[in-house]
Every structure is written in structure tokens, then in C-alpha cells.
Amino acid sequence: MKKKSSSVDAEAAFADELYKDRAALNRKAQEVLAAGSRQVTIRLDNSEIALAKQQAKEKGLRYQTYVKMLLHQALIADRRNAAR
């Protein structure tokens, strides 16, 4: 049996960590979605959409889910800041 090279081991470890992070992000997205939702329309700059798509892709998410998560996090943070 052939032994794996260290670069293959390193790549496998990187993939394991990446998919673990994606799984956690996807679980968080599902939690947000499970709370109930309503469809809305919003107009954004093309540059903002492009940036959201890029960042979502890096995190292994769909960009609309990612934008929804960002909005949710901003609203919660704003509520906390207002309560101070």
C-alpha cells in the first residue's frame, strides 16, 4: 500500500476544515431561514452584489443566503447597540 504524500495529507486536512466551516455556515443559514421568512425586493449597486457573490462563494454559500445572514447580523448588532 502506497503512503500518502505530505502535500496530499495537507490538502485533505484543508478540505476537512473548509467543509466543516461550510457546514457550520449552512446550519446557521438554515436556522435563520427556519424562523419564518417573507420575500422582499431590494435594489443594490452592482458592485455590492459582486462583492456579496465573491464573499459568499468563498464561504460556500449562495449569495442571497449570505446577504440575508449579513442583514440579520447587522439588525441584531444594531438592536444591541441601541439597548446600551
Q: Are 66 and 52 in contact (CB under 8 A)?
A: yes
The C-alpha cell that represents 56 in the structure block? 459568499
**The predicted structure's pLDDT at residue 34:** 74
Spell out the residues 6+ positions from residue 29 whose beta carbon is closer than 8 angstroms to its own: 61, 65, 66, 68, 69
Backbone φ, ψ for residue 39 (5° rounding): -75, 135
End-to-end, the C-alpha distance of the chain in Å comes to 63
pLDDT category, 76, cuts 50, 70, 90?
very high
Which H or E run contains 68?
A: helix 63-83
Say if pTM beats, i.e. exceeds, 0.75: no
Task: State the pLDDT confidence band at 4, using cuts at 50, 70 and 90.
Answer: low
Alpha carbon 29 to its chain's center: 7
Assess whether pLDDT exceeds 80 at residue 52: yes
